[in-house]
Structure 1
Amino acid sequence: MLHQYRTWLQRPGGEEDDAQHREFFENAMIVLDTNVLLSLYELHASARDEVIDALARVQSRLWLPYQVGLEFVRRRHAVIAARTRSLSEALRDVDKRFIAARQAIIAARDEVGQLYVKYAWNYEITQELSESITQQSVDAAVSAIKQDLRQRVKDLKDKHDLALGSIDSDDHILPIVADLYGNQVAAPVPPETVRNRVTEAITYRFPNEIPPGFSDATKGTDLNRAGDYLIWEEIIERARQLPEPRRVIFVSSDGKEDWYEPAEPGRAARPWPMLSDELWARAGANLRILKSAQFFEGAHRYLDAQISTTTYKEIDRATETLEESRVHQEAVRAVDDLRTHLMAGEFSEELLDSYLNVKRVLAESMQAVVQDQLSDGCPAFHELREKLSLFMASKIEERIPEKYLRVPYGSRIHEDLFAILYQNIGSPVPAGRLRIVTGDSVHTERRTRELRELGFNIDARKQGSEDVYTLHGLSLDHTLVRSIIGNNVRRDSALSTSDREEILRILGDIDFDAGD
């Protein structure tokens, strides 16, 4: 039993896991997803050089699925267009922000002047303020700052080494990618095989949420929806041809639930174990799924690739930027498609599918916008969790094993939800606003309730027809600590009934109300 379900039971870490990781990096076939290759267009030149050097170290083991190559050559124009547009619009955005700043200063001047009129009957001060703080004086005061920012943007544009207009004739990244792969590129998949795989994905796998790709079940055409599954099938087919022992590393920045099993109490999010099971069952190959930064960290650790700390951050930034750009472009296309169906003025299945697609992609797009604003994290969230952990330890005094003192609900979603509440501390936040953070997930309210289970000072109530949540402060309700520890104990399936009862008995005797 333990062997059969080992992929679901294994825990990362330890010397054995490190040795296996080294075996993968030194011997496995390496498959880079489309977003990893496209990130080369988004990286700064120096970071790009380090990444390419790392890939050159595993060049003989790189393999390019046909579907990945097709998506790469088709989407590179859009990536360069987004980067070029961002730089081109930056100067205008700087000017807009300074206009808004000027207006805010003038509004503040007028507000102070009105206070003098209202409470001191002093029109002279109001007149002095109007004469001394003008649009011209404000512009003069910030002129040096504005020019400095504009010049920096111009410098960035001048150093931009990829131009949209010349991408077909002067794309110096495409030849590098081609050289890395050489002839290690899959041939086109026969149309009949593609048709059968798309049907398998749409009619069986996606309705049953079998990874990968089921999160794309409402995306555009059936062929677009099945893109991840087509890549997966190519990987399985290629893995069968590898010499034994067969190992595959798949590198992707896609962290959606159709590749990663969501976190749950006691376990972080992880690549779906059923993917490892399927690759082993169908190809006799072992699998590692890694995010981009994880892969290049491994290349540094096991293959001596020279990658700086700055480059790791640049890799994360580039992949996040690519994903945001992809989501926003998909949202625009989905809205245009829905508009076309609505203008037709007829009810159809295509209209309903288009509407559902718009809901999904707009939720993803707005989620990306909000998460970008929250990208620096929320220190207050981690401080509260640390206080809770210290309080547990002070009350338990080693009477209960330390592993049961773990503070749950520490995922990125929990942190982002708390951050929204913290930004609006003391004010009610509608549940609809919180759902933006989770991409309109049905579990949003449950995640917020889980924060309350930690003793966070959050209340929930109805305001009109909508649920609202309010963070009233950074105090903790310590009386909930008993249930947190008790739940950790009950979830430990390795405990005997007698041991569980004994730990719960000890827990019941501890006074969590006394002191802080």
Structure 2
Amino acid sequence: MKGLFPQYDYSGSIDHAETWKTAMFVFDTNALLNLYRYRERTREELLEALEKLSDRIWIPHHVALEFQRNRLTVIAAQGRRFSEIRKVIDKAKSDLTNSINNLQLKKRHTLIDPEPLIIGFETLTADFLQELDTLQQNQQTLNTPDPIKNRVEEIFDGRVGPAFSSQDELERHNKAADLRYKSKIPPGYMDKEKDRNEPDDFFHNGLIYKKKYGDYILWSQILAYSAERKPQKLIFITDDAKEDWWNLVELDGPKTIGPRAELIEEALRVGNLDTFLMYRPEGFLKFAKEFLAAEVSDDTLREVRDVSLENKKNKSIMYDSSDPKSSIYLAVASWILDTYNMLEDRSGECPDFIANDGDKNHGFIVQIIRRTSSNEITRAIEKAIHASSISTLDTITVVFIVETAMEAQQIQEFIVSKKIITSQNNLLINISQVTSKRGSPFLAPYLYCNYNDIPLF
């Protein structure tokens, strides 16, 4: 058996130092877009590491295309953080002042003087906001010259693979991807539901692409490059953490062992490689420090790791359609995306989803009602009130999922009966049923209104 199944060997026997001497380095879109998420020093250290490998780097055409298409979205998301932190500070200042005023210390306890605290907090926040203004001035904006884009284009000048020559060629890849996804052959099958949440097609240079096939397309372009150029050794750097790229083994939580065995086998068989490795950005920088003598600080490694973890939290909303609960959450996500452009899946945290309409954040809590229960209804609303009080959400919606119109009426009557009393003006209630629409889960609302304005049936 020895040597028959190299794709299943995760013993760490590969000589990374020897591989780094001759390997080609290929980068995924997410690894390049992270440059907009890093601080200046981290970004510069990563770019310098790329420049040290300038004669041995390459990206598929689809990676270059997705980088150009998605960079403005990432820039906009980073820009929103400045307004979000300002809201947090304003709320903290207001809460502190109101809470102290409510104590009526001047009347009830003249020995306690809160003025030094209030003045000190004002000074502290003013200094921070001034520093924030300076940082924002250096932040990349949507319509100003983009030095990061220019630098990436210079580094990969002449090192981008060819584009598809025709729609027929692209369609052949789409059909191959579809067959692979049905059999869960990696990579990309975790993106098979992508078109259910948002428009899947986009148009570029006369061709119509489907976003859900992006991972397979870039993988096929890597294999074609390897088979033609015969680099023997190839290292792929991606910040995608999904199971259709990595071998995840359950051991007190999912543990990443290495790339999927199917990918290794295909890289060796189709790409004619003798060595195929995959790194996350942190791993790439660790080895760059060791084998290239690249300047990589511990702070940089920490930030790269933190950004990767944040990206994993904000992964696309993907659910197993065979799981009834997953179908419900998918229907809710699709319904939210009918109104809002951006959606973050919180993977079981509270709230379950956060949507953004440009300058406001809206939270959504999903409560599945199996049997109408006053305790479940009360807990869901209390959870929403608590989430609203400790966050910067402009609105928060409790989405009650019911099976029948009678259950919807019972929930509505319970809320109106004033067994729950609240003054939350930003709390909304949605009572809905999940049905099927063209084979896909679909949210059919019975009621959607402000908590304080719920009418009787």
Q: TM-score range by the shorter chain?
A: 0.5 to 0.7
1:365 paired residue number: 345
- The 3 A distance-change label for structure 1 pair 254 and 4 is same
Deviates more, 1:138-147 or 1:84-93: 138-147
2:305 paired residue number: 316
- The 3 A distance-change label for structure 1 pair 102 and 31 is same
2:263 paired residue number: 275
Structure with the larger strand share: 2
- The 3 A distance-change label for structure 1 pair 139 and 252 is farther
Shift of 1:282: 0.8
Distance 2:143 2:283 in 1: 33
Contact 1:62 1:181 in 2 (8 A): yes
- Please, which of 150, 155, 168 is the counterpart of residue 175 of structure 1? 150
Distance 2:336 2:244 in 1: 15
Distance 1:193 1:352 in 2: 36
- Please, which of 136, 154, 162 is the counterpart of residue 130 of structure 2? 154
2:364 paired residue number: none
Gapped regions of structure 2 (runs ≥ 5): 202-209, 319-326, 352-378, 384-457
Q: Does 1:211 align with 2:186?
A: yes
Shift of 1:356: 7.8
**AA matched with 1:100:** D
Question: Where does 1:374-385 land on structure 2 (aligned, <5 Å)?
Answer: none
Shift of 1:101: 3.7
Match of 1:239, SS state, is helix
Q: Does 1:187 align with 2:162?
A: yes
Deviations 1:378-410 (A, max 9, x none): xxxxxxxxxxxxxxxxxxxxxxxxxxxxxxxxx
Distance 1:232 1:139 in 2: 62
Distance 1:152 1:159 in 2: 10
Q: Does 1:88 align with 2:83?
A: yes
Contact 1:218 1:357 in 2 (8 A): no
Q: Does 1:284 align with 2:260?
A: no
Deviations 1:18-56 (A, max 9, x none): xx2112222111111111111111221122211111111
Shift of 1:322: 4.9
Contact 1:39 1:322 in 2 (8 A): no
Question: Where does 1:412-423 land on structure 2 (aligned, <5 Å)?
Answer: none
Contact 2:97 2:118 in 1 (8 A): no
Shift of 1:100: 2.8
**AA matched with 2:88:** D
- The 3 A distance-change label for structure 1 pair 187 and 242 is closer
Shift of 1:159: 3.0
Q: Does 1:166 align with 2:161?
A: no
Shift of 1:104: 4.7
- The 3 A distance-change label for structure 1 pair 6 and 243 is closer
**AA matched with 2:261:** P
Match of 2:291, SS state, is helix
Match of 2:182, SS state, is coil
Shift of 1:264: 2.9
Tell me the matched-pair count: 326
Gapped regions of structure 1 (runs ≥ 5): 111-124, 332-350, 372-428, 434-516
Shift of 1:64: 1.4
Deviations 1:269-303 (A, max 9, x none): 22211110011111211211110000010111111
Contact 1:102 1:138 in 2 (8 A): no
Contact 2:314 2:344 in 1 (8 A): no
Distance 2:115 2:61 in 1: 55
**AA matched with 1:260:** W
2:21 paired residue number: 26
Identity of aligned pairs, percent?
23
2:250 paired residue number: 264
- The 3 A distance-change label for structure 1 pair 97 and 324 is farther
Distance 1:265 1:326 in 2: 22
Q: Does 1:62 align with 2:57?
A: yes
Contact 1:251 1:292 in 2 (8 A): yes
- The 3 A distance-change label for structure 1 pair 29 and 155 is same
Deviations 1:89-108 (A, max 9, x none): 3222201123234445566x
Deviations 1:33-88 (A, max 9, x none): 11111111122112221111111111111111111111111111111111112113
- The 3 A distance-change label for structure 1 pair 356 and 88 is closer
Contact 2:314 2:345 in 1 (8 A): no
Q: Does 1:304 align with 2:293?
A: yes
**AA matched with 1:186:** G
Contact 1:205 1:214 in 2 (8 A): yes
- The 3 A distance-change label for structure 1 pair 282 and 75 is same
Shift of 1:141: 2.2
Question: Where does 1:322-337 land on structure 2 (aligned, <5 Å)?
Answer: 322=311, 327=316
Structure with the larger helix share: 1
Contact 1:236 1:282 in 2 (8 A): yes
Match of 2:185, SS state, is coil
- The 3 A distance-change label for structure 1 pair 257 and 325 is closer
- The 3 A distance-change label for structure 1 pair 184 and 260 is same
1:253 paired residue number: 239
Decide which structure has the larger Cα Rg and report it.
Answer: 1
Q: Does 1:5 align with 2:5?
A: yes
* TM-score for the superposition, normalised by structure 2: 0.63
